Chain A
Amino acid sequence: MRAGGARWSLPARGSRMADAVLFEFLHTEMVAELWTPDPDPGSGGPEMSPSVLESVGFRVGQALGERLPRDIPAFREELDVLKFLCKDLWVAVFQKQMDGLRTNHQGTYVLQDNSFPLLVPMASGLQYLEEAPKFLAFTCGLLCGALHTLGFQSLVTASVAALPAWDMIDMFQVGFTRGGLQRWARTCSPPWVLLGCRLLSR
């Protein structure tokens, strides 16, 4: 961002390298500072109350959802919006595109990222699996916020199978538990991270 109130625009590719590292450090500190574990462990699964991290991500997502599509032609349908998320939003925030997008054409979308940049610095494999969800809360909020600006109510949940990959799923069923998500996850070929994103309404 240039100082002095000048128009903000995406800088040239070379100068973005420092941005990624700075964002990574900031995110790490945010997680350390703001993560509050779910006070009721029996509440059952990813339908948890939004944490502070998710709210921060939500607000950022709203702003990005306003700024990034500015020069893109109007979105015609849901799939355009999801493609925008996978390509433009992901490239803007993580300097890479989402690795896979699947849908059941009924409001359920699976987005797959095989090497999520915020998890790559952690050990690959299953060693830090329990810690991974903390690092996904902000991103969940980000996606939720961007979708909200673009007119969709959604529910985003995350699950990690093996670092550093993750998936995003829009789940249509209510009350999808973490256990169920991981069971579903194991049927897919690893490594990936599951991020559940349910499009509720427009």
Chain B
Amino acid sequence: MVHTSLDVVDEKISTMGKALVDQRELYLGLLYPTEDYKVYGYVTNSKVKFVMVVDSSNTALRDNEIRSMFRKLHNSYTDVMCNPFYNPGDRIQSRAFDSMVTSMMIQVC
């Protein structure tokens, strides 16, 4: 499902590029809703794509919250990138990153 959502992300990026609207949002919004899950997307300037899959039964999540969650994800990812012991392209093994993600998920559930 995450892989299909990546296709939607690419589609959104390409359509955004062609549109003349000055839409420079990094946040892509709700990609597409399915029966059980909602999928949200976010693309950074370095073309790193974050995809968030949320249970549809959790209706309390608002757009702003999703945005702030992506923001936190982006910030943590940037911190991981700046870590000199991390080689770009490797699997992320930073404990700080993991704990941030876990705390975010706990907050939501």
Q: Verify A70–B44 contact, CB threshold 8 A.
A: yes
Q: Least Cβ distance of A55 to chain B in Å?
A: 12
- For the complex, is B104 an interface residue (Cβ under 8 Å from A)? no
Q: Verify A74–B24 contact, CB threshold 8 A.
A: yes
Q: Which of B16, B45, B48, B77 lies in contact with A72, CB distance below 8 A? A: B45
- For the complex, is A75 an interface residue (Cβ under 8 Å from B)? yes
- For the complex, is B88 an interface residue (Cβ under 8 Å from A)? yes
The bracket for how many chain A residues form the interface is: 10 to 19
Q: Which of B24, B43, B44 lies in contact with A76, CB distance below 8 A? A: B24
Complex alpha-carbon distance, A66 and B45, angstroms = 8
- For the complex, is A63 an interface residue (Cβ under 8 Å from B)? yes
> Which residues of chain A are near B81, meaning CB under 8 Å?
62-63, 66-67
The bracket for how many chain B residues form the interface is: 20 to 34
Complex alpha-carbon distance, A85 and B77, angstroms = 21
Q: Verify B46–A69 contact, CB threshold 8 A.
A: yes
Given contacts A59-B84, A70-B74, 6 further A-B contacts (CB under 8 A): A5-B96, A7-B75, A62-B81, A66-B82, A67-B82, A75-B45
What are 19 contact pairs spanning A and B, CB under 8 A?
Answer: A8-B79, A63-B81, A66-B48, A66-B78, A66-B82, A67-B82, A69-B46, A70-B45, A70-B74, A73-B24, A73-B26, A74-B16, A74-B24, A74-B25, A74-B26, A74-B43, A74-B45, A149-B88, A150-B47
